[in-house]
């Protein structure tokens, strides 16, 4: 996905900046609710677009998040699991190259994402269940994560905020 395509998707899908980085738009909310962490929609879904010059900063959700690849360059999902293990998964359509078209980020994992190909972007969809609520969204600073996971300092420096945005 080149710059003109990125601008096209941002405009046509009416995407807005996301606090973790990238651009998003909420697309669906379940009409059903569940009472987990308080009352939540059964599921919610968004479009998410990440440009290669941006990152999706490390964050954590209380819910599972299922990612779907739509268009553009492969997107790498970086995770630090609850047990402290680091894992990365490439979301895309080149199965022969180890990419997958969908992937589940488990609840409580600390995760972010990046697009490695220069001057490109990736358009994905994300479905969260129980549904996304900003009360269940936690951003991290580099200092927060390095103190807990010093073995992952290099990726933390790339994907965590030095200071949280206001």
3-class SS of residue 36: coil
Structure confidence at residue 164 as a pLDDT band (50, 70, 90): confident
Instruction: Please give the structure tokens belonging to residue 132.
Output: 């996304």
Nearest Cα neighbor of 138 from 40, 60, 80, 65 is 60
User: With 80 as the cut, is the pLDDT of residue 15 above it?
Assistant: yes
Nearest Cα neighbor of 30 from 116, 122, 127 is 127
pLDDT averaged over every residue in the chain: 95
Structure confidence at residue 165 as a pLDDT band (50, 70, 90): confident
Instruction: Please give the structure tokens belonging to residue 99.
Output: 């990419």
Nearest Cα neighbor of 10 from 64, 45, 48 is 48
**146-159: average pLDDT:** 97
- pLDDT above 70: percentage of residues in the chain: 99
pLDDT, tens digit, for every residue of 90-130? Answer: 999 999 999 999 999 999 999 999 998 888 999 999 999 99
- Whether the Cβ atoms of residue 30 and residue 42 lie closer than 8 Å to each other: yes
How far, in Å, CA of 5 to CA of 70, rounded? 13
Tell how strand 39-41 and strand 33-35 pair up. Answer: antiparallel
Query: Residue 117: what pLDDT?
Result: 81
User: With 90 as the cut, is the pLDDT of residue 152 above it?
Assistant: yes
pLDDT, tens digit, for every residue of 59-86? Answer: 999 999 999 999 999 999 999 999 999 9
How far, in Å, CA of 132 to CA of 128, rounded? 6
């Amino acid at each position: 996905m080149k710059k003109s395509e990125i601008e096209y998707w941002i405009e046509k899908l009416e995407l807005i900046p996301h606090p973790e980085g990238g651009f998003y738009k909420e697309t669906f909310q379940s009409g059903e609710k569940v009472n987990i962490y308080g009352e939540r929609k059964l599921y919610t879904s968004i479009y998410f677009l990440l440009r290669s010059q941006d990152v999706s900063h490390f964050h954590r959700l209380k819910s599972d998040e299922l990612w779907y690849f739509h268009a553009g360059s492969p997107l790498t999902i970086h995770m630090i699991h609850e047990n402290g293990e680091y894992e990365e998964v490439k979301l895309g359509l080149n199965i022969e190259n180890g990419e997958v078209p969908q992937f589940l980020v488990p609840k409580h994992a600390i995760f972010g994402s990046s697009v490695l190909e220069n001057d490109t972007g990736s358009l994905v969809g994300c479905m969260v269940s129980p549904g996304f609520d900003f009360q269940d969204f936690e951003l991290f600073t580099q200092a927060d994560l390095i103190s807990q996971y010093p073995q992952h300092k290099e990726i933390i420096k790339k994907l965590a905020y030095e200071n949280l945005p206001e």
